[in-house]
Amino acid sequence: MWMIDLPPFSAFFIGALLILCTRGMVRSAVMLAIPILSAIHLSMVPEGIYLQFTLFDYQLTPYRLDKLSLMFGYVFHIAALIGIIYSLHLRDTMQQVSAMLYAGSALGAVFAGDLLTLFVFWELLAFTSVFLIWARRTERSFKAGMRYLIIQVLSGVILLAGTLFYLFENNTLEFGYIGLDNISGWLIFISFGIKCAFPFAHNWLTDAYPEATVTGTVFLSAFTTKVAVYALARAYPGTELLVYIGAAMTCFPIFFAVIENDLRRVLAYSLINQVGFMVVGIGIGTALAINGAVSHAFNDVIFKGLLFMSMGAVLHMTGRMNGSDLGGLYKTMPKTTILCIVGAASISAFPLFSGFVSKSMVMTAAIEQGYDWIWLMLLFASAGVFHHAGIKIPYFAFFAHDSGIRANDPPNNMLLAMAIAAALCIAIGIYPQALYSLLPYDTGYNPYDATHVLAQTQLLFFSALAFVWLNLKGLYPPELRSTHLDFDWVYRRAVPSVLQQAFSVLWRFDRVLRDMIKQRLSACFDFFAGKNDRISILLSQKYPSGSMALWVVVILATYLLLSIVR
């Protein structure tokens, strides 16, 4: 069938064009049809390589299908469909087109079989998604989008440099296992790391996602980081360094999440925490761990999307996003409340919800491979994520003190999108075998044994008990209108102000130096002018002729000197 050669991203790119040409109901229909048709098409295609051509003697493979990429391909289709349903009420061409292109770029990246194609989609991811931030059309979002774009493009440039080194070292562009043996390996690793929000490179995420539009954040949370997770799983499985980086990623954001006021920023921090679990899984590199990482990425796209959608609904209906301004919304937004709690239970890995069946794989793999301390860190992070995403988000938005806001549940399309996501969370939690059958390896893992369920339930209930106890004691940090410094302080404040100071000192020094040289120079000129005058007067009474006679003497003398030297 000729259609088989058509890579999934092309459907989305064509879709973006169609959206530009249509209006109203037709546009909505096109937007809904694209991910559904593309997903049906994808499910019929068997594994293999479908598109290959040669460019300057190098084999390029823009479309390659295997179990790993297929898994991400499926979830990106689900995320795109949910996101599109969620944004059906929008009348904003810029957002709709860029969301379509963005989803297409993510699909292009995961099906890329060579590094050059990957680079192209890597950069497209940045350029298409930034409009979802700018679409908020405030100065704040414009600046945040600019910072986001700079960092994302930088990641792409490093990837290109790494690709060129890789080509030089291995004489091939194939995108497979790379490892950290050469410069190229390190460069590509750093590039993936930036997009994956490694510690100290994570601030683009917490900076930009909360500034994006209500619907934009839902798309953003699904694609960029998951593409990076896919790329790491493809190129660096079993790299021990990743275990430690991932463990750090699970732990440090939860401290920031506890004190952060903007609830979508809390979710952005918890996104880093969840990606940390995936990175640990990739670092461990056993079949079980990779399965855990990939399935957690799959689940995370859905439950993190659900949480961002529920917070987006709150923002859409109330115009507020700070924990300090919200509260008591369960009274008039009961459906959103319930859907948000389903998302919260999933991210906290409650038994029978989707997070449980994937996160436990990574934890089990960690302890099986003897990473005891890492396992303790992951356990702490599991308790912590329940604390800030599982309890804090629903509690401060929908319960806590009554803010007096009486907003209604959001439009039906938003509720439907959230309901689909929530249904998937529960379905995967109850029947994980469906998810496991899609995974790259067959490990025969069963999450529901008595030990596991009991341990996780105990951990979560006593984390909740800690929350209750701290609240009753008044020890829980109140939600305050504030900014909290993070590593982005370095490039948003420290470096600019240091540069400013340095330049002001430099300019002052430069001024002094120039003045000094100018003074010396004019003194010199005065001196020579004086001499010149005196000598010229010796040769002639008239100043110009004297001067000319002097210069003739100088030229003749030079000529004489040169002829002697020769």
Partner 1 sequence: MKNEKTYLFDNPKNIKRLMQIFYFCCVVLVILDFVIHRHTMHEWDSLWAFYPVYGFVGCVVLVIVASWMRKFLIRPEDYYDNPDSAEPEEKQLKAKGEHHVDD
Q: Which stretch binds partner 1 (CB under 8 A): 290-298, 345-353, 435-443, 478-486?
A: 478-486
Among 368, 442, 515, 526, binds partner 1 (CB under 8 A): 368
* Candidate segments 238-246, 272-280, 363-371, 548-556, binder of partner 1 by CB under 8 A: 363-371
- Residue given tokens 């995370």 in the structure block: 300
By CB under 8 A, tell whether 254 contacts partner 1: yes
- Answer yes or no whether residue 495 interacts with partner 1 by CB under 8 A: no
Shortest CB 528 distance to partner 1, Å = 48
Based on the shown chain and the rule CB under 8 A, indicate whether residue 372 belongs to the binding site for partner 1.
yes
Cα–Cα distance for residue pair 412/511, rounded to 1 Å: 66
State the nearest-atom distance from the C-beta of 498 to partner 1, in Å. Answer: 14
Q: How far is Cα 12 from Cα 32, in angstroms, rounded to an integer?
A: 11
How many other CB atoms are there within 10 angstroms of residue 454's CB atom?
Answer: 11
Report the candidate in 267, 259, 400 with the shortest Cα–Cα distance to residue 327.
400
C-alpha span between 182 and 388 (Å, rounded)? 40
The size of the interface with partner 1 (CB under 8 A), counted in residues, is 52
Distance, CA of 96 to CA of 260 (rounded, Å): 30
Q: Is 480 in the site for partner 1 (CB under 8 A)?
A: yes
Point out which span in 5-13, 63-71, 367-375, 508-516 binds partner 1 (CB under 8 A). 367-375
Contact call for residue 475 and partner 1 (CB under 8 A): yes
Q: By C-beta, is 262 or 300 nearer to partner 1?
A: 262
Coil, helix or strand at residue 547: helix
In 260-385, which residue ranges form alpha helices assigned H by DSSP? 263-284, 287-318, 334-347, 354-368, 372-385
Containing H/E element for 52?
A: strand 48-55
* Closer to partner 1 by Cβ: residue 463 or 536: 463
Q: Which stretch binds partner 1 (CB under 8 A): 119-127, 160-168, 185-193, 250-258?
A: 250-258
Binding-site member from 259, 341, 416, 438 for partner 1 (CB under 8 A)? 259
Q: How many CB atoms lie within 10 A of CB 288?
A: 22
Q: Using CB under 8 A, which residues numbered 43 to 102 contact partner 1?
A: none
Q: 377 or 421, CB closer to partner 1?
A: 377
Per-residue binding letters, 429-468, with partner 1 (x by CB under 8 A): ---------------------xx--xxxxxxxxxxxxxxx
Torsion from C-alpha of 318, 322, 327, 329, nearest 10 degrees = 30
Among 23, 67, 401, 481, binds partner 1 (CB under 8 A): 481
Dihedrals phi, psi of 59, to nearest 5 degrees: -80, 125
Q: Any contact of residue 380 with partner 1 (CB under 8 A)? A: yes
Judged by beta carbon, residue 127 or residue 476, the one nearer partner 1 is: 476
Least spacing, CB of residue 501 vs partner 1, in Å: 12
Angle of helix 67-86 relative to helix 8-21, nearest 10 degrees, comes to 20
CB-based contacts of 328, cutoff 8 Å, min separation 6: 398, 399, 400, 401, 402, 403, 404, 405
Q: Which stretch binds partner 1 (CB under 8 A): 50-58, 194-202, 275-283, 366-374?
A: 366-374
Q: Is 477 in the site for partner 1 (CB under 8 A)?
A: yes
Contacts of 337 (CB under 8 A, 6+ apart): 329, 330, 394, 398
Rounded CA-CA distance 357/491 in Å is: 39
Tokens 């694209």, located at residue: 34
Shortest distance in whole angstroms from residue 449 CB to partner 1:
8
Nearer to partner 1, 163 or 203 (CB): 203
Cα distance between residue 267 and residue 319, in whole Å: 18
110 CB contacts (<8 Å, ≥6 apart)?
69, 72, 73, 76, 227, 230
Taking the least distance from each CB to partner 1, the nearer of 248 and 258 is 258
Task: Establish if 364 lies at the interface with partner 1 (CB under 8 A).
Answer: yes
504 binds partner 1 (CB under 8 A): no
> Closer CB to partner 1, residue 59 or residue 500?
500
Least distance in angstroms from the C-beta of 373 to partner 1? 11
If binding is defined by CB under 8 A, does position 371 make contact with partner 1?
Answer: no
- Beta carbon of residue 86, minimum distance to partner 1 (angstroms, whole number): 27
The angle formed by the CA atoms of residues 152, 156 and 158, to the nearest 5 degrees, is 115
- Binding partner 1 (rule: CB under 8 A), the pick from 43, 172, 483, 501 is 483
Cβ neighbourhood burial of 503 (10 Å; 0-12, 13-18, 19+)? exposed
Would you say 186 or 476 has its CB closer to partner 1?
Answer: 476
Region 300-339 residues binding partner 1, contact defined as CB under 8 A: 330-331
Contact 276, 381 (CB under 8 A): yes
**Shortest CB 277 distance to partner 1, Å:** 16
The reply to whether 376 sits near partner 1 by the rule CB under 8 A is yes
Of 115-144, binders to partner 1 (CB under 8 A) are: 140
Q: Is 379 in the site for partner 1 (CB under 8 A)?
A: yes
Query: Is 299 in contact with 347 (CB distance < 8 Å)?
Result: no
Measured distance CA(496)–CA(176) in Å, rounded? 40
Contact flag: residue 146 with partner 1 (CB under 8 A): no
- On the CB side of 362, how many CA atoms lie within 13 Å of its CA? 34
Site string for partner 1, 199-218 (x = CB under 8 A): --------------------
By beta-carbon proximity to partner 1, the closer residue of 61 and 360 is 360
The single residue among 44, 55, 485, 502 that binds partner 1, judged by CB under 8 A, is 485
Structure tokens at 358: 């994937």
Give CA–CA dist 223/297, Å, rounded.
10
User: What are the backbone dihedrals phi and psi of residue 322, each rounded to the nearest 5 degrees, phi first?
Assistant: -85, 135
Rounded Cα–Cα distance for residues 263 and 394 (Å)? 10
Name the site residues for partner 1 (rule: CB under 8 A): 140, 254-256, 258-259, 330-331, 364, 367-368, 372, 375-376, 379-380, 383-384, 387, 399, 450-451, 454-470, 475-477, 480-486, 492-493, 496
